[in-house]
Structure 1
Amino acid sequence: MVHLPPLITDLGLLLTAAGVTTLIFKRLKQPLVVGYIIAGMLIGPHFAHLPTIKEIQNIQLWAEIGVIFLLFSLGLEFSFKKLAKVGGASSIMALVEIVIMLLLGYLTGQLLGWSTMDSIFLGGILCISSTTIIIRAFEELGIKSQRFAGLVFGVLIVEDLVAILLMVLLSTLAVSQQFAGTEMLAAVLKLGFFLSVWFLGGIFLIPTFLKWASKLMNDETLLIVAIALCFLMVKLATEAGFSPALGAFIMGSILAETTKAEKIEHLVGPVKNLFGAIFFVSVGILINPEMILKYAGPIALISCITILGKVFSVAGGGLLAGQGLKASVQAGMSLPQIGEFSFIIATLGLSLKVTSDFLYPIAVAVSALTTFTTPYMIRFSEPLYVFVESVLPERWKALLNRYSTGAYTINTTSDWKMVLKSYVRNMVVYAIVIIAITMLADRYLYSFIVANAEKGIRADIWTTIVTLVLIAPFLWALARHHPHKEAHSRLWANRKYHSVIIVLEFARAGVAVLICVVLLNQFFSTWVAILAGVGIIALLALFSEKVQNFYTRIEDSFYSNLNDRQISDDHQIAPWGAHLTSFLISPSSAIIGGTLEELQIREKFGVNIAVIERGNRTIMPPTRYERIYPYDKIYVFGVDENIESFRLFVLDESPPGVNMKAVKEDVKLQKLVVSSSSPLLNKSIRESGIRELTDGLIVGIERAGKKMMNPDSKVAFVEGDILWIVGKPSRIKLLEEPAMKPTVTEA
């Protein structure tokens, strides 16, 4: 008789239970995650009258692989560029929520008489919302294009990053068993350094590799390569002392910047769903129902604190960020649950043996309860806003409105600000790259030279020479590169700034010399190292043109890889509740074949089509004679209500197999102030030539506190007007030329 290994039997039982609960919960229109957890409880060791998993340890191993794939998929949806685009509003909301929930979780644990570590981990568990649940709920309710959804997605992105940081900090705290500020700071700096190195190196190398191998790849090979890269980064992260989940997340976020991102996400989806199901079922296996009954009181208390704390903290953060009452309330009502990362943090406490046995099932029970309420909370958000607005005193509403409008006040970006910001950013980036190259050379290059060529002092000298050659372009950039040449030239043209600029230039060169001295001082005396360092920088200045050309190729390659997949931020926050979002036009759409003039979209729906993407072409801004074709991707500017009306009219399900093209143009909402010396002054929109000069479309004008959405082309500009333009920043920056004095700042 053939013997069937217990692992196969256990997996069959697990997937059967997961499949049955999936069908039941789909029928009941409830979150599948809750079904998986219930399935795990039923086949776990605590239900004697049902088939039971025999080897839980093997299932836990598969569950760890599930965590890796969950974090890899989250990384594919994350993208560092998305983080840069969510703006200050989402960041403020996320940070306010995280700080308040960490504090509430800790105080709740202390109130219940728990240990310090249990209370700290409870705070960490409660502060991260469920990305999977929220995205699924938004898709089912058809509200992904609304403005508050953009705020929620921004908060989720920041939360995911903070969750990674929390895992590192909680691990450090668990090992030291005390709050050691120095160790925490070292852990944060170490995490920041490795994140930067992996991101910079990954963006430089991985897209280049995928381009080179693209002709050799079909779906199967791309899936294998993507998973291989994921596990390679898992190994690197583990070697550096971080968790495997962090490595998976980082590789996902790197691949999110490539043109293959959507394809990889599609291919990895079934694998993630399989192992994710195993992970969530394994969560249920560890739950003892008796423990839940025993701690029913704390579970109910923590669930209420989670819901109320998240609603008020997120909504309060939104008001603090100037997002208005409606968007803040809707965002707060969308985030009152905990999910995947909370399980992972709870599992971390168990694996490190620093939390009590009851914390894990309590966290899972709270997650199940709060997840169940999510769709109802989202549906109830608008009625709640209407109620709150009706009971608020008029004075408070006027104050909130003034504060919300004031949050969009435009600050002129001075040349000094641009230059100093670029100096600081470049010094940090180049220092990280130089340190990383030096560390790699010391660890691997030296061993290679000793094993294959030289030994003793000669091996040291050769290692130093090769290292200096590798870091030479970045040393030159640190000492000489000016990313904002125009701003730097304008400052230098003013004599009173000469001395300050000279000091800055010498400071940059001094930092480059210092790096060389530190590197050379390992093998030579201090004075010899100083003289050699000065000589190296002087040599780089002598051959400046050649080194610059080499550095420029490196920089161009990096930015080319970074911008290959320009992710449009569908949730860019704009003033007055208006925002920019995008739609993919299906062949069955009612607007196919019509020109913009014929369709009268602006007149009928109150929205503006600012950009049309067609294959690899970007039409910006489209003329009134431009027609709409199948699979066009259009960018629409307007308020939630108008966009929703337009969506219902134009948007159908995307046909299967459609490969949405990556955005090739960086389309953003920009601000422009009309000054007293502006050549735009007293000219109409049509006369100003802004459309022809910048390929930009003016979608709003704010004048003396009054707002004009989608202004007529005959409107003339007056001093102090705030213009809102949708377009490509590189083109709109032409308005900074001497012929066009107004200052542009990014929204």
Structure 2
Amino acid sequence: MGGAFVAAAFLARLGGRIGLPTIPLFILAGILLGPNTPGYVLIEDAHDLEMLSALGLVLLLFYLGLEFHMDDLRTGGRKMAIAGSAYLLLNVGAGLGFGFALGWGTSEALVLAGVLGISSSAIVTKILVDAGRIGNKETRPILGIIVVEDIFLALYLAALQPVISGADGVAGTLLDIGQAFGFLVLLAVAARWGTGLIGRLFATKDNELLVISFLGAAVLVSGVAEKVGVADAIAAFMVGLILGNTDSGDRIRDLVHPLRDAFAAIFFFGFGLSIAPGDLPTVIWPVLIAVAITVTMNLLAGLFTARIYGFGPQPTANVATTLLARGEFALILATMAAAAGLDARLSPFIAGYVLILAVVAPLAAGRSHWLARWLPGGRDAAADEPEEKPEGELAGAGKER
């Protein structure tokens, strides 16, 4: 674990000197020091870091929930639902069509629909934090789309598992979906009406007790959610949403920062451990086509979201590029597909697709102003701004325009 922290820090510092984002560098550290590349192997089995990686994901989404206020849901819930549904329709629909076009099988197509359709909550969160865009006006719709995706994810996983494994039948599928939906409703009720009571339970002046309390709550609820078929990510988000609206919310935001950053690095390092670059050449063309489809669908989704919210070219470009990444959920699907004995090409395809987008998305998000110039009205908006120096582009990439 110590080696993982040091390797991630070393590469991130090195990349920071030339303006590269940390996410692909953390992933690169895992690839180079994992069992799937030649040279020194720091960790033989990616499962050795599985619990720490899960904690990194939980803390990233918990922090995201802390930054998301109940007022945002009450005032913008309808727009968020429309934007999130449109995003899913475009991306999941395109993924399903691509899966059938490949001809690998119906179950494989259903898996690919999820792989191409769902953004990486962890990478999206890290991009927003690193770019300093948490307070931007387009960030609320981005978070809303993630919430809609995670709700869809809970239902999708509940339905997909029995389909690809051929077990349980319709009754079991409906039971799993009902169980997942019931747990989501319980969390929503707690977020809507339980904030006062929960706030009193977490009221303490001792920072040590507060850290133990919110960390325990986030991890426990996420673990229970996973047991009942709900993504641990959305459970962590909901816990953050609840605690962020209590009197202790501001202190929790300050206290969670170092935990979030440290374990997020391990999450992305562990992500890299699971990727085998040597398998990529066998599926390189399907991977490149899938990447092109995802970029196109994200641009269309960004334009649709901008139309709903009345955004200009720069916020539109931010939406389209920030949601581009695919990650932890795609790897979960790869594991499920392998366990169900589906087409062996799925695993290297998913690994290559995720790796390319995990690298491209942070780079594209950091330079979204290039895309903004090509969107309707973009050149006029760019002409109104002072010309930036190259280093200013990197230092100011996170500022709202």
SS in 2 for 1:45: coil
For the pair 1:363 / 2:353, whether they are aligned, the reply is yes
Equivalent positions of 1:191-206 (< 5 A) are 191-201=180-190
How much is the aligned-residue C-alpha RMSD, in angstroms?
Answer: 3.5
Displacement of 1:281 in angstroms is: 0.9
Equivalent positions of 1:183-582 (< 5 A) are 186-201=175-190, 207-211=196-200, 214-215=203-204, 217-238=205-226, 240-316=228-304, 318-319=306-307, 321=308, 323=310, 326=313, 329-330=316-317, 333-335=320-322, 337-339=324-326, 342-351=327-336, 353-354=339-340, 356-375=346-365, 378-386=368-376
Task: Indicate if the aligned counterparts of 2:312 and 2:377 stay in contact, CA closer than 8 A.
Answer: no
Q: Which amino acid aligns with 1:337?
A: L
Displacement of 1:107 in angstroms is: 1.8
Task: Indicate if the aligned counterparts of 1:307 and 1:336 stay in contact, CA closer than 8 A.
Answer: no
C-alpha distance after superposition, 1:75-113 (max 9, x if no partner): 333455433332433332221121111111122223233
Task: Indicate if the aligned counterparts of 2:116 and 2:294 stay in contact, CA closer than 8 A.
Answer: yes
For the pair 1:32 / 2:22, whether they are aligned, the reply is yes
Count of aligned pairs between the two proteins: 377
Displacement of 1:185 in angstroms is: 5.3
Task: Indicate if the aligned counterparts of 2:313 and 2:372 stay in contact, CA closer than 8 A.
Answer: yes
Distance 1:206 1:94, change over 3 A: closer
Q: Work out which of the residue numbers 116, 131, 134 in structure 1 matches 2:106.
A: 116
Task: Indicate if the aligned counterparts of 1:121 and 1:346 stay in contact, CA closer than 8 A.
Answer: no
For the pair 1:76 / 2:56, whether they are aligned, the reply is no
More helix by share: 2
Distance 1:262 1:97, change over 3 A: same
- Provide the rounded CA distance (Å) in 1 between the counterparts of 2:149 and 2:117: 8
Displacement of 1:363 in angstroms is: 3.4
Equivalent positions of 1:733-744 (< 5 A) are none
SS in 2 for 1:86: helix
Distance 1:346 1:136, change over 3 A: closer
- 2:54 maps to what in 1? 64
Task: Indicate if the aligned counterparts of 2:127 and 2:362 stay in contact, CA closer than 8 A.
Answer: no
- Provide the rounded CA distance (Å) in 2 between the counterparts of 1:117 and 1:178: 16
SS in 1 for 2:60: helix
Distance 1:263 1:121, change over 3 A: farther
- Provide the rounded CA distance (Å) in 2 between the counterparts of 1:79 and 1:308: 31
TM-score, normalised with respect to structure 2:
0.79
- Provide the rounded CA distance (Å) in 2 between the counterparts of 1:89 and 1:234: 27
Distance 1:197 1:90, change over 3 A: closer
- 1:105 maps to what in 2? 95
Distance 1:212 1:297, change over 3 A: closer
- Provide the rounded CA distance (Å) in 2 between the counterparts of 1:123 and 1:155: 17
Task: State the identity as a percent.
Answer: 21
Displacement of 1:19 in angstroms is: 1.0
- Provide the rounded CA distance (Å) in 2 between the counterparts of 1:64 and 1:234: 10
Distance 1:31 1:291, change over 3 A: same
Distance 1:204 1:117, change over 3 A: same
Displacement of 1:201 in angstroms is: 4.3
Distance 1:311 1:115, change over 3 A: same
Distance 1:227 1:303, change over 3 A: same
SS in 2 for 1:338: coil
SS in 2 for 1:365: helix
Distance 1:86 1:381, change over 3 A: farther
C-alpha distance after superposition, 1:466-519 (max 9, x if no partner): xxxxxxxxxxxxxxxxxxxxxxxxxxxxxxxxxxxxxxxxxxxxxxxxxxxxxx
Task: Indicate if the aligned counterparts of 1:118 and 1:359 stay in contact, CA closer than 8 A.
Answer: no
Task: Indicate if the aligned counterparts of 1:76 and 1:256 stay in contact, CA closer than 8 A.
Answer: yes
Task: Indicate if the aligned counterparts of 1:312 and 1:332 stay in contact, CA closer than 8 A.
Answer: no
SS in 1 for 2:347: coil
Task: Indicate if the aligned counterparts of 1:222 and 1:264 stay in contact, CA closer than 8 A.
Answer: yes
Task: Indicate if the aligned counterparts of 1:72 and 1:252 stay in contact, CA closer than 8 A.
Answer: yes
Task: Indicate if the aligned counterparts of 2:150 and 2:233 stay in contact, CA closer than 8 A.
Answer: no
Task: Indicate if the aligned counterparts of 1:314 and 1:332 stay in contact, CA closer than 8 A.
Answer: yes
Distance 1:257 1:126, change over 3 A: farther
Q: Work out which of the residue numbers 19, 23, 46 in structure 1 matches 2:9.
A: 19
Q: Which amino acid aligns with 1:122?
A: L
Task: Indicate if the aligned counterparts of 1:346 and 1:363 stay in contact, CA closer than 8 A.
Answer: no
- Provide the rounded CA distance (Å) in 2 between the counterparts of 1:279 and 1:164: 21
Displacement of 1:210 in angstroms is: 3.8
C-alpha distance after superposition, 1:629-648 (max 9, x if no partner): xxxxxxxxxxxx99xxxxxx
TM-score, normalised with respect to structure 1:
0.45
- 1:708 maps to what in 2? none
More strand by share: 1
Which of the pair has the greater relative contact order for Cα pairs under 8 Å at 6+ separation?
Answer: 2
- 1:162 maps to what in 2? 152
